């Protein structure tokens, strides 16, 4: 999630918010990814989509099974949205997202996925802010709402990481 979050930085998470409201595009959330994101590498549930298939589309189907690992990413598309990726930016329902906060994406690979996919009902598409180096939904698909733990709302450094000046 660099540059938004630094490696080693701690995040506070609101676990109750999404019991009362829906997640929104732009929210930074903690969630459990599909097993395809953690068990032996990046894997899409549909072998015909994803950046490594030549399909020119992001992964449209997560692998079955919820990983127990916690991930933190930004929601870039929600249920029913159409999505493609242009220069590392999500194109949602035909509109390129204005994201001045991300690290640039190098040309090629997962930075340009012009073929549109549709996000399934009750699923969310996640991308890291370090677009050229992020393993995210482009590779392992949208995440079911039930796997969302909560919204990140604050950060802090652990005491052993704070320097004395």
Q: What is the pLDDT of residues 25-72, one digit of tens each?
A: 999 999 999 988 986 667 899 999 998 888 999 999 998 899 999 999
85: tokens are: 């990726």
Residue 32 has a pLDDT of: 96
Q: What is the pLDDT of residues 67-94, one digit of tens each?
A: 999 999 999 999 999 999 999 999 999 9
- In order of 49, 124, 140, 145, 156, the CA distances from 61 in angstroms are 8, 11, 7, 14, 34
What is the Cα–Cα distance from 141 to 136, expressed in whole angstroms?
8
The mean of the pLDDT values for the chain is: 88
Q: Is the dihedral of CA 110, 115, 119, 120 positive or negative?
A: negative
Average pLDDT over residues 105-127: 91
Residue 165 has a pLDDT of: 37
CATH topology of domain 10-156: Umud Fragment, subunit A (2.10.109)
Residue 41 has a pLDDT of: 66
């Amino acid at each position: 999630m660099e540059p938004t979050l630094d490696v080693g930085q701690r995040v506070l998470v609101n676990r109750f918010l999404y019991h009362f409201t829906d997640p929104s595009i732009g929210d930074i959330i903690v969630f459990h990814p599909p097993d395809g994101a953690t068990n032996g590498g990046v894997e899409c549930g549909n072998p015909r989509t994803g950046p490594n298939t030549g399909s020119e589309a992001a992964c449209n189907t997560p692998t079955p099974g919820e990983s127990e690992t916690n991930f933190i990413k930004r929601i870039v598309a929600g249920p029913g949205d159409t999505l493609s990726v242009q220069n590392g930016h999500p194109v949602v329902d035909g509109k390129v997202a204005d994201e001045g906060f991300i690290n640039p994406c190098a040309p090629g690979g997962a930075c340009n996925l012009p073929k549109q996919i549709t996000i399934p009902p009750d699923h969310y598409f996640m991308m890291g802010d370090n677009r050229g180096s992020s393993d995210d939904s482009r590779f392992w698909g949208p995440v079911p709402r039930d796997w969302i733990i909560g919204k990140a709302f604050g950060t802090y450094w652990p005491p052993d990481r704070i320097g004395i000046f």
